[in-house]
Chain A
Amino acid sequence: MNLKCFAFFCCLFDFGHMFVIFVCIDNVMARPRKPGKIQTPPRAKAFMPVGYYKSSSEAVQLNIEEFEVFRLLDYEGLTQSEAAKLMQISRSGVARIYEKARYKLAKALTEAKKIDIEGGSNLFDNDWYECERCNSKFNSLESESPGTCPLCNSTYIHMVNN
């Protein structure tokens, strides 16, 4: 923000430096962004088209953030600002992710492509686990693994990160 103001200020007086300054801004913007918080893992790992198998090997990769933004805006009906607050990212970040998500989904539906939902650990509000016995998903309230499923007490659980 400061850099932007500075750039604007300089532009008023010195057009010669505009190019350099904008390169700087671009560099700042290209820094890796903090990933948005995700509430719960998506229910399915992938979606498959039925009746058209030609390009099934080539899947559209929808990442979990894109899935979450799409879900919050179009399923939960939140505004971009509300979604941004919930995911702890900027509103413009939400807008960018939303555009990508919509394009990918439109592409998958139009071209009959498989949709893979890519994981990413440490994105969730809590760590999430899945029970291999009862297939439920549950959050972990402590930093270490819960050890057993809170529903059926099975010890066959694994972390959901993919």
Chain B
Amino acid sequence: MRIVIPIDDNSLTSNVSDTFARSNYFALVDKENGNLKMVENPFKAMTKGVGVKLFEWLVDTHKMNALLAFEMGYKVQQMASEANLQIIIVNEQNKTLEELLNFMGIEPDSKI
């Protein structure tokens, strides 16, 4: 499973972002081999049509098949459903990327 996580900044201690499509960065996590990549959200500043571009980029370019978020707008949810993606909604707002990686059984230090 390849999980995309919206994060506020590009560090392990970053919080999961409150928004999905407007998140500053994304952590792209391959749960099977523990690979982790943090990339800037290239569509952050776009005013319209972010969702479609973002999904093409995440699903077609980066082959992600799961989205994790604290909050997901209805459009993102709709597109994720249509693309048959796994959606994971985490419960508490202050979950950090590190904590989520721990839940996945990934040792982040060795992978950076």
Contacts and interface: CB of A to CB of B under 8 A. Distances in A.
Most chain B CB neighbours (cut-off 10 Å) among A43, A86, A151: A151
Interface of B is mostly: mixed
Interface residues of A, number: 20
B14 interface: no
A152 B72 contact: no
B110 interface: no
Nearest to A153: B105
Contacts, number: 59
B89 interface: yes
Contacts of B100: 151
A127 to B, nearest CB: 12
A40 B72 contact: yes
Contact of A139 (B73, B87, B103, B104): B87
Contacts of B90: 134-136, 151
A20 interface: no
Interface string A8-44: 0000000000000000000000000000000110010
B74 A125 contact: no
A104 B92 CA distance: 27
Q: Which 6 A-B pairs have the closest CB atoms?
A: A135-B91, A152-B103, A137-B89, A138-B88, A39-B77, A136-B90
Interface of B: 1, 3, 66, 68, 72-74, 77-78, 81, 84, 86-92, 100, 103-105
Given A125-B81, A135-B92, A150-B86, 18 more contacts: A39-B74, A39-B77, A39-B81, A72-B74, A76-B73, A134-B103, A137-B88, A137-B89, A138-B89, A139-B81, A139-B86, A141-B84, A150-B3, A151-B3, A151-B88, A151-B103, A151-B104, A152-B105
Interface of A: 39-40, 43, 72, 76, 78, 86, 125-126, 134-139, 141, 150-153
